Structure 1
């Protein structure tokens, strides 16, 4: 019997998972399952993302700390379990993703390839290689947008080919997102022949060559779609809290029960559909009637996410200062000793250090905690380049997201979007107003746990007798402050003012005016800058 190879290819489809690690509201999966005889669900383990890098400052690979690797593996394990319940499974391979996928397309005679559209530069370059290969061999490619509420290209097109640079202008262009898919699957098409390709099971982190990690503190947040949907249900159970949710309100020192949803890691990996999240929130708003509005509401936070994705997608060199037309050119100083002290939680400011220790141990910190340490590193105290801090967050955060991480560092360093550089977080009093007893500091910096509360935020001011009683001598058991905050903050303000006044800063006055106006309308959404424009908060936070 003669078999037509073209008909075989037409009946074989591959769904290539990267993000979008879920079954619910997954347009790429939905398109892939339609009209095919065999469905190949594929994920490629990238050695650069997983293999240990002994030169990195924290345990992990060249691209990620252990917490995010762990979260990814848990998400893959959950996805595999979900696929198995549908009569399929996750086909896991190892190698450089683009060449591996191209080889599979040919060897498995794939006629249609489906994957979620990726907006990041790395993803766009990777996907172009695969699409070019598919085009050469006549393989159909479908790449729907589902990681964001809106297609960034559509928003940019509506704005005359330029990304909107203010939240309000983005909202005016965006409209309402399409509803999520409601398709429920009972069975997926079976997997076809896989030949001699080595198919792996999802590894445990111990299997990746990290040696003894028994002493490592891992994030308390588990990965996967199942966990994401359970967390979403728990969050939305309290409709009053959802309806009244408002940033900038929230306690950055709350760690036993974080004062926010902690759903960002699940959105980052696509374990939770942003459209499904939006729809569930919208249903609650409809049922309760009165609720907060964007930019401070929960829906407002999802829109902020899309805003940054859109600006990042439409801005060349968005992730750097040089060559970035929307970024101020600021002469940040080089000081590796101060940077390492900040990175390792050894600045001598307990509020800052506790946050950095939580980041290292948990892979997650509250958004206001992120603001505190970002301000301290850049325009607040140390005047060190935001790209250095961005790299630390990119490595350690389990919700590290290229567009949002870079966007927030641009914002918080007053390099773009936000320009009120004179508004500085105090590394002493800002945390104290939320946690006067210093419980957060005592938990993450146990060396300070026996300090009286009047000294817990400024232990260097404690008399030597108090330090001895607390079994912690400042300068020996815990470092002295690396800078004098009062002096350093004044110097930073002076440098920022000079940088903005310089013609080389390349700040468009019209853009600055528009952004300032937009922020006033938004009441300074604290998801991206703590400063509210209320008169009572206009003084420097101390």
Structure 2
């Protein structure tokens, strides 16, 4: 029987570690490689020019690699359900292969194509290589539900076998036109040179640079974020993982083997793969949740009553907030398609719970348009995290749009080239030009309110109000799916204490308080004080613990010492895992 194979590239734009492509080659008499460019998707407003340029460069690089093997990449325009009936018939296809897409939209699309292929008698082979693990297996081990804390996710993953080893690159003996930006309707006049060039070749070159950081790999020391960290790194990999130009398994095993070599056989700790595991975590949480990217119908998202403010949203997106740190970040995002994970934290907090009180959905859509590495699952998950809508509830921790930048880059070197208006300000005022004397503003040729906008909000007042809003949301929340005590691991050795210990500690504070006021110092019920009893601050905290399912730490101004609230499950910031 003649085997005519078609491999459908979507993500996974590479020849190395591509199991679906290998399946297409096995015993095949002919192979055609296609990429389907949907005209409707090409005109979608939620994908910006930098992402399109990266994709087209990745396709050009893939085509170049295939031509070296006496093949080529065929770019077909149309919707998959319209394109495949003609291709399967005209090419007499007997086998169709493609990479598994874990996201709900992709699974629905692929299900329709598999049914269509069956009607034509075409064998369909789907293989996973976009994630390290089988996400369905993770969910199965976790009692058929996705783990919704990163610690729980790590626990589940630790029980699984190591990811499969990557496959070798396709070679010539196995193998017997891309549009321009103008054709896609983009205007390229004034478009700066690409900071990130798309393609497998660039991805592998960057991987080698990444692995040259041997001291970091051996010691697991992330250097403190500095001015240099805020610029695009020549060893950055996130866009290449997003488009599949680089296999996550190749990165995983390169890191693993280098660590073992440098540390003389020691097993690498999970933190070495933190970036990859955060990616897997969000993929797992989203794979069976088609509403993961929105509030409505999303069972894990806290329904926070955000404000509707299109004017404020536009100022944030265009970098016209009046805060040079925020504006510089948004300018870099628009120009380059990438920003550092610390910068993502700053602008996400500013838009949502920190200052503007605008829904994370709005910020997610802007990132989806502008970020090269915007991945449906990771992008939505990170925005829910940073807005305290899911996964993370330290709503008392807000990032100051002045102080956060000043600590990272005291001299403002990052701001000056990205935002030319306040570039001539002295260091003292570069983050808050509105506080500069009028003479200083005129000397810098940037008068606030004339040449550069005034701050669109008073940060101190706005953040204080928003913290109270968040507190009210959680006080009214009697039960939050995904953050109930049963799903929050509190027995880990890294935990500060269990919920019971927290309650006991708070009970002692209540008893000491009552003794000071001449009241009986009997035991305090773990159910909290009865209604109508003591109304002291410590008693009020019992109600907060009770109303939120017991997942919060004690938090109060205590003897001049600020104690922040947070989950008993202390997870780190996920953006560190998606932006390097």
Q: TM-score, normalised by structure 1?
A: 0.87
Seen in structure 2, the aligned counterparts of structure 1 residues 242 and 355 have a Cα distance that, compared at 3 Å, is same
1:179 corresponds, among 158, 161, 165, to 165
Partner of 1:329: 303
SS in 2 for 1:240: helix
Partner of 2:117: 134
1:26 corresponds, among 9, 18, 21, to 18
Seen in structure 2, the aligned counterparts of structure 1 residues 75 and 516 have a Cα distance that, compared at 3 Å, is farther
Partner of 2:189: 214
Seen in structure 2, the aligned counterparts of structure 1 residues 359 and 405 have a Cα distance that, compared at 3 Å, is same
Unaligned runs of 5+ in 1: 1-6, 52-60, 191-200, 531-542
1:248-299 deviations in Å (ceiling 9; x for gaps): 84337634563x94200000000000000000000111011189966643x1
Seen in structure 2, the aligned counterparts of structure 1 residues 512 and 489 have a Cα distance that, compared at 3 Å, is farther
1:146 corresponds, among 129, 154, 174, to 129
Deviation for aligned residue 1:187: 2.9
Pairing 1:124–2:102 present:
no
Q: How many residues align?
A: 500
Distance 1:223 1:326 in 2: 34
Partner of 2:179: 203
Distance 1:446 1:27 in 2: 48
Q: Comparing 172-181 with 502-511, which one deviates more in the overlay?
A: 502-511
Distance 1:154 1:102 in 2: 33
Seen in structure 2, the aligned counterparts of structure 1 residues 516 and 253 have a Cα distance that, compared at 3 Å, is farther
Distance 1:220 1:251 in 2: 20
Partner of 2:387: 413
1:434-455 deviations in Å (ceiling 9; x for gaps): 2100011101101111000000
Pairing 1:426–2:400 present:
yes
Deviation for aligned residue 1:503: 3.7
1:309-339 deviations in Å (ceiling 9; x for gaps): 0111133411111111111110011111111
Deviation for aligned residue 1:509: 5.3
Deviation for aligned residue 1:210: 2.5
Distance 2:404 2:155 in 1: 34
Partner of 2:499: none
In 2, are the aligned partners of 1:252 and 1:367 still within 8 Å (CA)?
A: no
Distance 1:374 1:116 in 2: 32
Q: Comparing 439-448 with 91-100, which one deviates more in the overlay?
A: 91-100
Q: Comparing 271-280 with 99-108, which one deviates more in the overlay?
A: 99-108
Q: Which has the larger radius of gyration?
A: 2
Seen in structure 2, the aligned counterparts of structure 1 residues 505 and 393 have a Cα distance that, compared at 3 Å, is farther
Seen in structure 2, the aligned counterparts of structure 1 residues 292 and 423 have a Cα distance that, compared at 3 Å, is farther
Seen in structure 2, the aligned counterparts of structure 1 residues 271 and 370 have a Cα distance that, compared at 3 Å, is same
Partner of 1:16: 8
In 2, are the aligned partners of 1:464 and 1:473 still within 8 Å (CA)?
A: yes
SS in 2 for 1:286: helix
Distance 1:524 1:247 in 2: 17
Distance 2:267 2:251 in 1: 16
Deviation for aligned residue 1:205: 1.5
Q: Aligned-pair RMSD on alpha carbons?
A: 2.3
Pairing 1:237–2:212 present:
yes
Seen in structure 2, the aligned counterparts of structure 1 residues 248 and 96 have a Cα distance that, compared at 3 Å, is farther
Deviation for aligned residue 1:366: 0.3
Partner of 2:143: 160
Q: TM-score, normalised by structure 2?
A: 0.82
Partner of 1:438: 412
Distance 1:382 1:256 in 2: 26
In 2, are the aligned partners of 1:78 and 1:226 still within 8 Å (CA)?
A: yes
In 2, are the aligned partners of 1:348 and 1:482 still within 8 Å (CA)?
A: yes
Distance 1:474 1:39 in 2: 62
Distance 1:431 1:520 in 2: 30
Pairing 1:527–2:574 present:
yes
Q: Comparing 335-344 with 20-29, which one deviates more in the overlay?
A: 335-344
Seen in structure 2, the aligned counterparts of structure 1 residues 239 and 345 have a Cα distance that, compared at 3 Å, is same
